[in-house]
Structure 1
Amino acid sequence: MNSDTLRKLYTDWRIVLMVALVILSIIAIGPHFEDGKFTTNLQYGLDLQEGSWLQMEFQAEVVTVEPGIDINKLADTLGTELDTEVIPISADQVEVRKAFTREQLEPVFTKAGATIVTVNPGVSKDTAELVKRTLDEKVNSLGTKDARVNILTGLNGITRYVRVELAGVDMKTANEIVGQQGKFEIRVQTTGNQTEHVIFGDVITSVNVPTKDQQGMWGVGFTLSPEGADAFRQGAISSNAVNDPQNHELVMLLDNNTVYSAPLSAELASQLKAGPIRSLSASTGVGDEGLQEAENLEIHLRAGALPVDVTVAGSGSVSATLGDYYKILCILAAIAALIVVGVVVYYRYREPSIVLPMVATNLAEIIILLGIARFVQQLDLASIAGIIAVMGTGIDQLVVITDEVLHEGRVPSSSVYLKRLSRALGIIVVSAGTVVFAMLPLALMDLSTLRGFAIITILGVLIGVLVTRPAYGKIIMAILSK
C-alpha cells in the first residue's frame, strides 16, 4: 500500500470516525488482568457468570363481576368480609390481594350483591409495576448491577408471575431478598402469649445501616413517621406495656417470622408515657449470621413490602464454573464464525486486498458494538447470538457494497464509483430499517431472553449503517483504485 493510498485512508472522516470509535470501545471494554485472571468491564448476564433466578407467583386474584354495581362499595365490603385488601381496578373488576379459589369467593360476592364472571390468578398492571419498582430497589440495594426484574403479563392484561435474575448472587440470598413479600410488623404482648398489631413497615420514614452494640449484637435502627409514632405509643398504652414493661414483650416480625422479641425496656416505657418516640431499633443477633440478618432487614425496611404476597414457583442457579465454560464456548463460536466468514469471502473474490478490509471492518463493528453494550446491555447467551447474527448480516452487506461498486473486477471512475456506492448504501439502509422494525417489539417487551437478542441486533445494524458501511466503501475504493 503506497503513501497516497494511506493518505486517502487517514484523511477521510468516515474512516477516522470508525477508528476513533474502535479505540474508545477498547477503552470502555477495558481488557485487563485482575487477580491473575483476564477480565473486562463488560456486564455478563446470568448465563455467563455465577448467579440465581427466581420466578415468583402472586398470591392474588383479579375478579370480574357483572356490570351495574358500585365497584368501590363492593371493594370495601369484600375487604371486610375476606379480611384482606381489595382494590378496584375498573368498573367491573377488583383485585383481591390474597389467594382464594372461585368456590371460596362465590358466597362472599353473592352476599355482597355481585355476580362473578371470571376469576384469574394474578394482579393488575398497576400493581405489577409497583412490584417491579419495589423489587428493583431491593436488588439495587444488593450492590449488583447485573439484575433483571421482568413481569410476565398475559394477553388478558393480568400479571401472574414475576421473574428476577441476579447475576453474582447465590440462591440463599436471592430467596431472602426477593423471594418473599418483605412485610414488617411490630406487635406488642397483651395477656399470656397473645399479641396485638401495633404498626406495619409503611410508617417507617428512614433506616440506618446495621450497627453492633457493646455486647456484639447487630441491629438496624429506623425512624417512624409522626402517625406511626402515635400509633406505637397508643399500642403500648392500651396493652399496659408502659406500666408493666417486663411482662409485655415487643415483637418485630418480617414476613411473620420473628426478628426481634424482648420485654419493653423500662427507659422506653417511661419515655412513651411522656410522649411519642420516633426512633427504634431491631436487634438481629451476633456474629456473621446476625450481620447478614441485619443487612437483609435493612433492605426490606428501605424498599418496603410488596403489595401482595408471593411464592416461589421456580428457581435455578448457574455455578461459576459453568459460567466460565459458557464464556469460553461463546469466544470460540465468535472466532470460528469470523474464520469461516473470511474463508467464504476469499473463496468468492480470491483477492486478499478485498478480504482483509472486509474482515477487519466486520471485526471493528463487533468491537464498537461491545463497547456500547458495556453501558446498556448485559451479555448473555441470547446477546452473544445477536452479536454473531450481526457479524453474518454485516458481511452480507459488505458483499453487497463490493459487488455493486466493482465493474468487471475493477474499480470504476470516482464519479461512477460514488453513484454505485450510494445505491448500495441505499439498499443497505432499507434492509437495516426492516431489521430494526422487526426487532423493535421484542426490544420493548419484558421477555428477558429475546429482549437482549433484539437490542444487540438493533445496535449492530445501526452501527453498520451509520459508521462501518460508509467507512468500508471508502477503504475499498482507496485500496483497489491503486
Structure 2
Amino acid sequence: MGVKAFLKEYWRLIMIVSFVGFALVALFIPGGIIADESIADDDAQVDETLTNLEYGLGLDGGSRVAAPPVGIMADNLEIEPGDEHEVESVVLEYDYDEADLEAADTRVRYDEDNDRFTAEIFSEDVSHAEFADALQEAGLEVTEGDIEDGVTQQTRDEIIETIDLRINEGGLDGGQVYQEATIGGQYYIVTEVPGMDPDELRDLLTERGDVRIVAYHPDDDGNQTNTTVLQNEEIADPGSASYDDQQGQHYVPISVDDTEGEDGTSPAHEYQSSMSELGFTGEGMGQCTIHDREAGQFDFDPDDPQWCLLTVVDDDVVDAHSMSQDLGGSMESGEWVNSPSFRMIVPTQQDAYQLSVNLNSGALTAPLDFSQEQTYSLQPALADQFKVYSLIIGAFSILTVAGMIFLRYRNPKVAVPMILTASAEVVILLGFAALIRMPLDLSHVAGFIAVVGTGVDDLVIIADEVMDDGEVNSRRVFESRFRKAFWIIGAAAATTIIALSPLAVLSLGDLRGFAIITILGVLIGVLVTRPAYGDILQRLLTDK
C-alpha cells in the first residue's frame, strides 16, 4: 500500500492519534508545543506540577477583587474633529472646589464604534455640576443632567489590558481580568490571581502606574521648580529590570518614541530640546546633590542651584540623579535623538522590577473605587482538596460510564474503543488548555464531566445505529448507517453550541468557563473523535 493510499484509508485514525500526541506534548513536555523557557528552565516547578496545566482560584487558591472604575463622563458631545485637546485643556484647567487634576485625570476622545465624542474625568472630587460647567466653558451645550457616573467602554478595555499586562509582566500564572455588569448598569473590573492574598492583589491594583521624568531646575528668577519632560506614553521600548555590576546601579533601559507627529517633531526630539533649554546639557551637567539616596530620601542642597532628573511614580519620587557627561554631551550635539535611549536608575532591585512592570504595562487610565470592592479569596490548602476531589470525580465518572457501556453491549469490540475514544477527547481538551495557558477552575471541571457525558451519548448513538439490525458485515451498509447516526449527533452538537454560546461570550462568571469547555469538547468530538470511532468500528465489525 502506497503512502497516499495509506493516508486516504486511515486518515481519521491518523488525525486522532496526532491530536492525542500533540496534547500529550502540550501537557507533559516542559514548555509544551510553544517553548516556554520559564517552564523549561525551572526544574522545581516541573517536578512540583508534573504537567503544564495552570489552575485558577478554585483549584490553586488565591484572590478575586472586583471594583468599579472611578469617573464621570459626558456622552454625545458636539465637538469639531481636531478640537479634542482644546476641550481637554479647558476641562483640566477649570477651577474645581476640591479636585486638583493632573493631565492623566481627563480624557476627551472620539468613539469610532458609536460615532460620537465623549469626555471623562477620573476623579472622585469632581461633581456633576462642576464637570458640566467646565464643558460649558469649552463652548459645549451640556447640563448637569447630561453627566453620568462611570467611564466609557474604551476606558474599561484599556484598564483591563493594563492590568492583564501587569499580571503577565509580574509572572503571575493563571491570572485573568474581565468586566462584569451589575443589574443597575454599573461595570466592575474583576481581577483574579491565584496564589496571591487580597492585600497583595489590592496593592497591585491600587497603583496607578503613572511614570514620569520630572526636571528639577532653577527657573528664570533663580527659584527651584519642577517641569515634566517625559511621560509613560512617550516611552516606546522599556526593558526589564537590570543591574550594572561595575557601577553598582539598578536600572531599567528605555527608548524614547522617535515617531514624528504632524508638526514634524517627536517625543525624543522634544525631550532632547527640553534638556538643552533647561540647562541640563550645559551648566547643569552633574549638578545634583543628593543626601541619603539609599534610604530613599532625596534631600537636595538648598544653597546651590540643582539640576536633577526625578523618576516619579504615582507622584512619589523613587529616584533622582544628575545628567551624566556622556548623555548630556550627546544631547547638546544633537546626536542623541538618532538613538534615543538611556537608563532609568533606581535605588533597589524591587524598585527596578516595579518600574519595569509599570513601564511595560502602562498607567491605568482610571483608578478603581475600592470603597465598593467585592473580594473573594480561597486558601491554597482548601484549593488542593478541591483539586483532589475533582480528580476523583473525573475518574469515577469515566469508570461508571465504562461499566454501563460493558453492561449494555457486552462486546469488547464496541465498548473498549468507545471508552478509549471518550478518554482521548478529554486528553485533547486538557492539551488544548495547557497549550493556550487556560487557568482551569471548578467550572471547567464541570465542563469536562459534561463533555464525557455528551461524548459517550453520541458514541452510543453511533453504536446503536450501526448495530440496529444485528451485526453488519458490509462496509457499504455500515457507512450508510454511520452517516445517518452522524447527522443525528451533528444536529445535537449544533443545538448544544447554539444554546451555550451566550454563556461563553457574556460575563457570567463561572458559567462562562463551563460553556467554553463544553463547546470545545463538542467541536473536538464532532470533528475528530466521533469520525475516528466510526472508523474503528468499521474495521472491527465489517469484513475487509
Q: What is the identity, as a one-letter code, of the residue corresponding to 1:125? A: Q
How far apart in 2 are the matches of 1:105 and 1:180? 25
* Residue of structure 2 in register with 1:5 after alignment: none
Asked if 1:137 is matched to 2:165, the reply is: yes
Greater mean deviation of Cα atoms: 415-424 or 162-171: 162-171
* Residue of structure 1 in register with 2:356 after alignment: 298
In the alignment, which of 107, 121, 133 is matched to residue 86 of structure 1? 107
- Match of 1:166, SS state, is strand
The question of whether the paired residues in 2 share the 8 Å contact of 1:210 and 1:298 is answered with no
Q: Unaligned stretches of 5+ in structure 2?
A: 1-5, 31-41, 257-267, 290-301
The question of whether the paired residues in 2 share the 8 Å contact of 1:28 and 1:374 is answered with yes
Asked if 1:456 is matched to 2:523, the reply is: no
Shift of 1:119: 3.5
How far apart in 1 are the matches of 2:439 and 2:117? 41
In the alignment, which of 45, 53, 74 is matched to residue 56 of structure 2? 45
1:470 and 1:91, CA in 2 relative to 1: closer, same or farther beyond 3 A? closer
How far apart in 1 are the matches of 2:408 and 2:161? 53
* Residue of structure 1 in register with 2:152 after alignment: 124
How far apart in 2 are the matches of 1:37 and 1:102? 54
* Residue of structure 2 in register with 1:394 after alignment: 455
Shift of 1:242: 6.8
In the alignment, which of 66, 70, 94 is matched to residue 55 of structure 1? 66
Tell me the alpha carbon deviations over residues 356-378 of structure 1, each in whole angstroms, 9 at most, x when there is no partner: 33222211221122222322333
* Residue of structure 2 in register with 1:203 after alignment: 234
Asked if 1:231 is matched to 2:274, the reply is: yes
* Residue of structure 2 in register with 1:475 after alignment: 536
Greater mean deviation of Cα atoms: 373-382 or 318-327: 318-327
- Match of 2:176, SS state, is strand
Greater mean deviation of Cα atoms: 69-78 or 448-457: 69-78
The question of whether the paired residues in 2 share the 8 Å contact of 1:58 and 1:121 is answered with no
* Residue of structure 2 in register with 1:4 after alignment: none
Greater per-residue helix proportion: 1
Shift of 1:241: 6.3
Shift of 1:448: 5.9
1:295 and 1:311, CA in 2 relative to 1: closer, same or farther beyond 3 A? farther
1:413 and 1:138, CA in 2 relative to 1: closer, same or farther beyond 3 A? same
Alignment length (residue pairs): 465
1:159 and 1:296, CA in 2 relative to 1: closer, same or farther beyond 3 A? farther
* Residue of structure 2 in register with 1:114 after alignment: 142
Tell me the alpha carbon deviations over residues 30-66 of structure 1, each in whole angstroms, 9 at most, x when there is no partner: 179965546112233343335444434322222247x
Matches within 5 A, 1:208-287: 208=239, 209-212=241-244, 216-224=248-256, 225-235=268-278, 245-246=288-289, 247=302, 248=306, 250-261=309-320, 264=322, 274=332, 281-285=343-347
Greater mean deviation of Cα atoms: 463-472 or 79-88: 79-88
How far apart in 2 are the matches of 1:321 and 1:130? 35
1:381 and 1:119, CA in 2 relative to 1: closer, same or farther beyond 3 A? farther
- Match of 1:58, SS state, is coil
Shift of 1:283: 4.0
- Match of 1:218, SS state, is strand
In the alignment, which of 188, 201, 207 is matched to residue 180 of structure 1? 207
- How much identity, in percent, do the aligned residues show? 28
In the alignment, which of 78, 83, 98 is matched to residue 123 of structure 2? 98
Shift of 1:388: 0.9
How far apart in 2 are the matches of 1:269 and 1:353? 78
Tell me the alpha carbon deviations over residues 139-191 of structure 1, each in whole angstroms, 9 at most, x when there is no partner: 332345533232446799x9843233334566666555554221012332668
In the alignment, which of 363, 375, 387 is matched to residue 327 of structure 1? 387
Shift of 1:305: 1.8
Asked if 1:405 is matched to 2:466, the reply is: yes
Matches within 5 A, 1:362-381: 362-376=422-436, 377-381=438-442
* Residue of structure 1 in register with 2:398 after alignment: 338
Greater mean deviation of Cα atoms: 269-278 or 95-104: 269-278
Shift of 1:461: 1.0
1:273 and 1:363, CA in 2 relative to 1: closer, same or farther beyond 3 A? closer
Matches within 5 A, 1:427-466: 427-445=488-506, 449-466=510-527
1:228 and 1:445, CA in 2 relative to 1: closer, same or farther beyond 3 A? farther
How far apart in 1 are the matches of 2:157 and 2:224? 39
Greater mean deviation of Cα atoms: 28-37 or 405-414: 28-37
* Residue of structure 2 in register with 1:425 after alignment: 486
TM-score (norm 1): 0.80
- Match of 1:207, SS state, is coil
How far apart in 2 are the matches of 1:164 and 1:298? 21
* Residue of structure 2 in register with 1:77 after alignment: 90
Greater mean deviation of Cα atoms: 121-130 or 265-274: 265-274
The question of whether the paired residues in 2 share the 8 Å contact of 1:43 and 1:146 is answered with yes
1:399 and 1:270, CA in 2 relative to 1: closer, same or farther beyond 3 A? closer
How far apart in 2 are the matches of 1:173 and 1:136? 16
1:150 and 1:273, CA in 2 relative to 1: closer, same or farther beyond 3 A? closer
How far apart in 2 are the matches of 1:266 and 1:407? 87
How far apart in 2 are the matches of 1:350 and 1:475? 17
The question of whether the paired residues in 2 share the 8 Å contact of 1:48 and 1:327 is answered with yes
1:61 and 1:233, CA in 2 relative to 1: closer, same or farther beyond 3 A? farther
How far apart in 2 are the matches of 1:179 and 1:256? 13
How far apart in 1 are the matches of 2:150 and 2:403? 54
Greater mean deviation of Cα atoms: 458-467 or 49-58: 49-58
How far apart in 2 are the matches of 1:297 and 1:431? 53
1:53 and 1:20, CA in 2 relative to 1: closer, same or farther beyond 3 A? same
How far apart in 2 are the matches of 1:361 and 1:406? 18
Tell me the alpha carbon deviations over residues 424-460 of structure 1, each in whole angstroms, 9 at most, x when there is no partner: 1101111111222333344344556444333322221
The question of whether the paired residues in 2 share the 8 Å contact of 1:146 and 1:378 is answered with yes
Shift of 1:340: 2.0
How far apart in 2 are the matches of 1:414 and 1:14? 16
Asked if 1:382 is matched to 2:458, the reply is: no
- Match of 2:68, SS state, is strand
Q: What is the identity, as a one-letter code, of the residue corresponding to 1:354? A: V
1:115 and 1:74, CA in 2 relative to 1: closer, same or farther beyond 3 A? farther
* Residue of structure 1 in register with 2:297 after alignment: none
